[in-house]
Amino acid sequence: MYQVPNYTETVSMRLSEVLADIGVDERIILKRRRAWLLRESIENIHDQLLYGNLITYYFGSQSEGTTTIGINSDMDQLVCINELTVIPDWSDWIPGARNHLMIQDNSVTPGYCLLQRLRSDAPLPADCESDQLFFKDRSGKFLLKNSFVRCCVYELHGPAQTQQGQQGYCDKDIVLALHCTTWPQQAREWLGQQGEGQWPSAEMKQYCSRTGCFVVPVGFSGSEHEHLEWRISTSLAERCLMFNLNVTQIRCYVLMKIILKTFINPLFKDVISSFMCKTVLFHCISKTHSNIWRENNILSCLSLCLYLLYNSIINKNCPHFIIPGNNLMRGEISRAVETYILEILNNIINSEGVALLGITCDALGFRLCLKFYNLCPFKTSDDISAALSFNLAFKIYLALIETYNFLYDSSPKKAVEILKKYVSKILNFQHKEGLHKTASLLLLPWYCTTLGSVLASLNIYQYYTVSANALHLISFGLNTDVASSKLKLASILYCAQEIQKADLVLTEIERTYDLQIVEPFCGCNLLEMELPRQGYLELCDNHNEEALQYTTAFCVRFLPCEIHCVPYELRYEMFRSTQEDRIFRTDRDNTWMNLAVVDSLPYLYFLQYKVYNHLGRRDQKQAALFKLIRSIKEEPRLRHRETALNLLGKCMEQEGRAGDALQCFSMSLYVRGRNNAAKIHMAKLLSVLINSRT
């Protein structure tokens, strides 16, 4: 039996420990996968509500759990448009559908296809003579141009693009695609192949074949049919393969990406892709016995992968794992670049792990060096857990804010009609299994609360009270997070003159709002991220999505159709922009500046101030005012500080402290010079002061 040398085993164990420290262990991998697949389910429910014909998938390193903080992988998002049907054979033709037949002949690059339009009333070629999105080839076939999807999504969803450079967020690569429910012939041949390692198993292959494939609107560079070719993608099958790897295999892939980032990309960016590394890993696993993929042998496994990559570069051939005819290195590497890359890989392989000490990504080399002296540097799993919880909260926020965009200029009755439809659709997802059900349970309370609040606004306007139905809907969403939904209820009760009940709700919010744990959350402003509180890190590290209701305080948002649930001081925020100010808004600003939005913590203290003033509790009112001032000064994570200062200024006005009120409004304008209701407050106050002196 093959014996691992002591040196290799020692280095492998220390290297495995370092990778666990930087978040490549089974717990974090599974947690990362769950978080991203849950995001995927949330996005799909959201798209079903608003569009109905899009399905989103998150592929790549983030959803696979094969990244680290240092690698900082992109977020790979595939948006599948269901308007067209793609079929591999004539026998798959569907009556009434917009059928497109995959053509894979000798004129098409392996791994790519052409799409021929068929008639919807009979399995015959269609005539698209007048349609600019089709090209008529020499044989008379009408072939769909790969520019079609970009046109389609621009109309539905705005131009799809790579989004980069936003502080605190990973870059996003959006891929547009069409889905085919069955595999093309090129991929089916893989099902009958079996390597020495007996991987993948027959069961895995059968599952993979049932996932179908995507066709992505990009042709092979330099091809005669580049504008007509569609690349065949088996991303769902590849996800299945990745999810069936053990932790050592995952770590090998992560190490390959770190080596790529450290030694090759700075000199030859994008020549060797992480997808090539993944493909090499698949080939290695299929050609070796499973017993070599152990933690105490990871150095040898890494060398094996790098050696296969080395040979692939020499041979200029890296066959796609499922479609071997598709050579991923075809035309990618020039002779001059090849020589340098081969030298780099050769040096790493022959260094027997010493080269890894020079890796600065995730401080891997430094950590590895300390491990040999039995020193344990800090772990980053806590930070990763916090980031995953934050990202999940951000996805919920995005789903909600786009819904608000659909509703912000709707009448109350129209908003009620739309929200009822959304609630009904989300309820249907609760009958499904897995993460779709979990996602629906996360989203439904938010929509119920918003529906209840719109109904309450109508009730207050018409009857000066709140109906039992509205309160029931609002109560369903009270545990979405620590404070925001409860604050909506308190605000509604205050506006309905149910002051005692509002007091009880606010007291409960303050009791559960632990300043050592709770993180304010808002996606309106992309400001620099602060390090999370230690209590927040600890809770998020030990829980999944359920931690949101104990650790996160979303900002409180009111649509114009909820205006009667909003104290008059906050209503001004819905009218913050003059015509001159509007031209200085960004696209992100337009998603919230027509609403009344305020951070939860200062709004809690503002409402307490108003409630205690009504109840005549002077000491408690002054205490609430002091807490409001302190929250504005000391809470670094407020995203609507200017709004909090405006509310504080209105409190100062009520206290008869006009000078302090003007100072608050001035400070608010210093925070946000344009699109700020402070201008209105300041003008009104100055008018009152001038008129009183006159």
Least confident span in 110-119, 169-178, 208-217, 443-452: 169-178
- Please list the alpha-helical segments (H only) found in 637-677: 641-654, 658-671
- pLDDT score, position 124: 93
- Alpha-carbon distance of 632 to 640, in angstroms, equals 10
Structure tokens at 262: 């450290």
Q: How many residues does the chain have?
A: 694
Say what the pLDDT of residue 151 is: 54
User: Is the per-residue pLDDT at 582 higher than 60?
Assistant: yes
- Mean residue pLDDT of the chain comes to 88
Question: Is 18's pLDDT higher than 60?
Answer: yes
Per-residue pLDDT averaged across 221-232, rounded?
A: 88
User: Is the pLDDT confidence value at 168 over 60?
Assistant: no
Q: What average pLDDT does this structure show over 324-336? A: 87
Tens-digit pLDDT profile for residues 565-577: 999 999 999 999 9
Determine contact, residues 420/438, Cβ cutoff 8 Å. Answer: no
The secondary structure element, H or E, covering residue 103 is: strand 99-103
Supply the DSSP string of 18-37, one letter for each residue.
HHHHTT-SHHHHHHHHHHHH
pLDDT above 50 (res 167) = no
Above pLDDT 90, what percent of the chain?
A: 61
Helices (H), 71-183: 148-157
Token couple for 513: 């709002």
CB environment 388-400: b (16+ within 10 A), e (fewer): bbbbbbbbbbbbb
Mean pLDDT score, 405-415: 86
Terminal Cα distance for the chain, rounded:
101
Q: Which of 255-264, 372-381, 633-642, 662-671 has the lowest mean pLDDT?
A: 372-381
Dist. CA 415–CA 171, nearest whole Å? 34
Task: Check residue 530 and give its pLDDT.
Answer: 67
Q: How many CB atoms lie within 10 A of CB 508?
A: 13
In the numeric block, which tokens belong to residue 301? 């496994």
Residue 562: count of CB within 10 angstroms of its CB: 28
pLDDT of res. 186: 84
Q: Indicate whether 166 pLDDT > 60.
A: no
Q: Within 260-411, where are the H helices?
A: 274-287, 298-315, 335-350, 364-371, 381-407
Q: Work out whether strand 552-554 and strand 519-521 pair parallel, antiparallel, or are unpaired.
A: parallel
Q: What percentage of the chain reaches a pLDDT higher than 70?
A: 94
What number is the average pLDDT over the span 107-132?
89
Higher-confidence residue of 182 and 195: namely 182
Which pair of structure tokens corresponds to residue 251?
A: 């770590």
- What's residue 331's pLDDT? 79
Please count the CA atoms within 13 angstroms of the CA of 546 that sit on its side-chain side: 2
**Best CA proximity match to 53, nearest among 97, 83, 87:** 83
Give the C-alpha separation, 231 to 33, whole Å: 26
- The residue-averaged pLDDT of 462-491 equals 94
Query: Cα–Cα distance between 228 and 136 in angstroms, integer?
Result: 11
The enclosing H or E element of 521 equals strand 519-521
The lowest-confidence range among 255-259, 353-357, 591-595 is 591-595
Contacts of 283 (CB under 8 A, 6+ apart): 308, 319, 321
308 versus 594: the higher-pLDDT residue is 308
pTM of this prediction? 0.87
- What's the one-letter identity of residue 283? H
Task: Tell me which DSSP letter residue 263 carries.
Answer: I
Residues near 97 by beta carbon (within 8 Å), at least 6 away in sequence: 85, 120
Q: Which residues contact 269 (CB under 8 A, 6 or more apart)?
A: none
Question: What is the model's pLDDT at position 165?
Answer: 43
Q: What is the pLDDT of residue 384?
A: 79
pLDDT confidence bin for 2, thresholds 50/70/90: very low
Give buried/exposed letters for 573-609 (b at 16+ CB in 10 A, else e): bbebbeeebeeeeeeebebbbbbbbbbbbbbbbbbbb
Alpha helix (H) residue ranges in 464-525: 468-476, 484-495, 499-512
From the list 442, 672, 668, the residue with the least C-alpha distance to 552 is 442
Residue 562 above 70 pLDDT? yes
Angle between helices 381-407 and 26-50 (to 10 degrees): 0
Is 520's pLDDT higher than 70? yes
pLDDT computed for residue 102 by the predictor: 94
> Which residue type is seen at 430?
Q
What the chain holds in terms of domains, given with CATH numbers, is 1-23+247-379 (1.10.1410.40), 73-244 (no CATH)
| CA–CA gap between residue 561 and residue 409 (Å, rounded) | 8
d(CA 501, CA 490): 8
Contact in structure between 143 and 107 (CB atoms under 8 Å): no
For the purposes of burial, counting CB atoms within 10 Å of the CB of 92, is it exposed (0-12), middle (13-18) or buried (19 or more)? middle
Q: Could you give the 3-state DSSP secondary structure of residue 582?
A: helix
What does the DSSP 8-state code read for residue 613?
Answer: H
Tell me the pairing of strands 134-136 and 75-81: unpaired
pLDDT of 4 strictly over 80: no
Q: Helices (H) and strands (E) in the chain — how many of each?
A: 27, 14
Whether the per-residue pLDDT at 454 is higher than 80: the answer is yes
Rounded CA separation 635/629 (Å): 10
Judge whether 285 and 249 are in contact, CB under 8 Å. Answer: yes
Encoding tokens for residue 54?
């899009």
CA atoms within 13 A on the CB side of 553: 28
Most confidently modeled range among 88-92, 148-152, 489-493: 489-493
Tell how far CA 482 is from the center of its chain. Answer: 22
Q: Between the CA of residue 301 and those of 290, 292, 338, 365, 586, what are the distances in Å? A: 11, 7, 23, 18, 49
In this predicted model, which residue has the larger pLDDT, 162 or 593? Answer: 593
Reported as half-sphere exposure (CB side, CA atoms, 13 A), residue 490 has a value of 26
Q: Is the pLDDT of residue 195 over 70?
A: no
Q: If phi over 0 gives left and psi between -120 and 50 gives alpha, with beta otherwise, what is residue 686?
A: alpha
